[in-house]
Amino acid sequence: MNILTKPPVMAGVTVIDADTHIAEVYDLWTSRAPAAYKARVPQVKEVDGELIWVIDGDKRMGPAFAISTIRRDGSKGHGNALTKWKFEEVFEGAYDVKARLAYMDESGIAAQIAYPNLLGFGNQKSMGVDPDLRWVTTQIYNDAMIEYQKASGDRIFPMALMPWWDIKQSLAEAERCQKAGLRGVNTNSVPEGQGMPVLGDKHWFPLWELCSDLGLPVNFHIGSGFESTAWFGSGVWPTHETEGKMAFGGSMMFVSNYQILANIILSRFLEKFPKLNIVSVESGVGWIPFMLESLEYHMKDSGIKCELTPIELFRRQIYACSWFERRGLAQSARALGVDNVMFETDFPHPVCLYPDPVNFMAETAAEFTHEERRKIFGGNAARVYNIPVS
């Protein structure tokens, strides 16, 4: 990789990438597990000539690839090619902190917010095992991410996974991770799918209150409510080729966050927690002005009274992340409020803005004022996640 030239329009802008992923190395859990759990925590085994992740000894979690679309030589693959690559064939920056920092420096990115792969974007993929094993697995993951953040010199900020199936454990883990330096929590957006109360239920109020008090934003990543990560989603025509199915699935995953944001606004629980920040991750922003206007119209027509309109509530405490949007981004951001939009790259996943994310956005960035650019491309993330910037 070569050092990239930061476009002049981004001069004076500290860029913070609000959504990236860290590929879990094969011994992430086994190297940290207590003896009683070493054979049960997630680990890689060879089954019928294929390397797969398993949990609890034999429960399959998926193939053991790094979910990186970037090859070891720095070139970018397309479609589902990455599913065939061995871990040693992908770019080290997908998992190694030093290689990632070097890539960030080359790309002009000061800091990253990071999310998981294996356990699901909202820690939903271990539901087939007993709660004790899920609890241990979650804590080990968070321990590894605490180490990763420290090793990065506080430039990469993984979000703490919540053991959302147990509210007491969630409270304890949120507080533990905040004391250890993590800057936000990441949780399941559709707990009712597993028989839990919806997020607007008072069952969750202690967690929302704690996150408000500790300044921890609550992150909902697209796909965080699925039991497993669905490459194609539902509703895709079976006649499409694999690449078409992936394009359909990727574009339709936004719908899940449309649903969670609409439900959060309609539930009105944010009125009780005015300091709680909610982040819609990897969801884009162009559809949100439409959603807010639609909600406002239908709420009025239904006779629903609330303290704040949907757009007022959004501007007070909801944030959204954008990456591939260039046409109309300035208009969408201003419609929502430039204080509520953050820039992301989705590195190193398929459709990520690799290899030159800042230049990819240069023409669109020029449509903003300098102060707007500073907010959207870094300042808002620094404020929401409490990241000091120079």
Alpha-carbon radius of gyration of the chain: 20
Residue of 101, 95, 89, 100 whose CA lies nearest to 118? 95
Q: How many structural domains comprise the chain?
A: 1
Give the residue carrying structure tokens 């023409």.
363
Distance CA 307, CA 310 (A): 10
Q: Assign residue 151 the CATH number of its domain.
A: 3.20.20.140
* 376 assigned to some structural domain: yes
Beta-carbon-side half-sphere exposure of residue 147 (alpha carbons within 13 Å)? 10
> Cα(28)–Cα(30) distance, rounded to whole angstroms?
6
**From first to last of its 390 residues, what are the pLDDT tens digits of the chain?**
455 778 999 999 999 999 999 999 999 999 999 999 999 999 999 999 899 999 999 999 999 988 999 999 999 998 778 888 988 999 999 999 999 999 999 999 999 999 999 999 999 998 999 999 999 999 999 999 999 999 999 999 999 999 999 999 999 999 999 999 999 999 999 999 999 999 999 999 999 999 999 999 999 999 887 644 455 667 888 888 887 887 787 777 778 899 999 999 999 999 999 999 999 999 999 999 999 999 999 999 999 988 999 999 999 999 999 999 999 999 999 999 999 999 999 999 999 999 999 999 999 999 999 999 999 999 999 999 999 987
Give how far the C-alpha of residue 375 lies from the chain's centroid of Cα atoms, to the nearest Å: 19
One-letter identity of residue 281: V
Does residue 308 form part of some domain?
yes
Q: What is the pLDDT of residue 233?
A: 64
Distance between CA 291 and CA 231 in Å, rounded?
25
Q: Which of 249, 263, 273 is nearest to 310 (CA)?
A: 263
Asked if the structure places residue 313 within a domain, the reply is yes
Hey, CA dihedral for 240, 243, 249, 250, is it positive or negative? negative
Domain that holds residue 311: 94-384
In angstroms, the CA 161 to CA 8 distance is 38
Number of H helices and E strands in the chain, helices first, is 13, 12
Rounded to the nearest 5 percent, the helix, strand and coil shares of the chain are 40, 15, 45
Q: Which residue has the tokens 């649903």?
A: 259
**Assigned domain for 48 exists:** no
Confidence (pTM) = 0.94
What is residue 389's predicted lDDT score, i.e. its pLDDT? 87
Q: How far apart are CA 153 and CA 225, in angstroms?
A: 32
- Residue 45: inside a domain: no
SS (H, E, C) 56-74: CCCEEEEECCCCCCEECCC
Position 302, amino acid: S
How far is the CA of 285 from the CAs of 100, 115, 173, 323, 337, in angstroms? 27, 19, 31, 9, 11
Calpha distance 228→122 (Å, rounded) = 10
Tell me the CB-side half-sphere exposure of residue 34, using CA atoms within 13 A. Answer: 8
Q: Is residue 52 part of a domain?
A: no
Residue 291 lies in a domain: yes
Residue 27 located in a structural domain: no
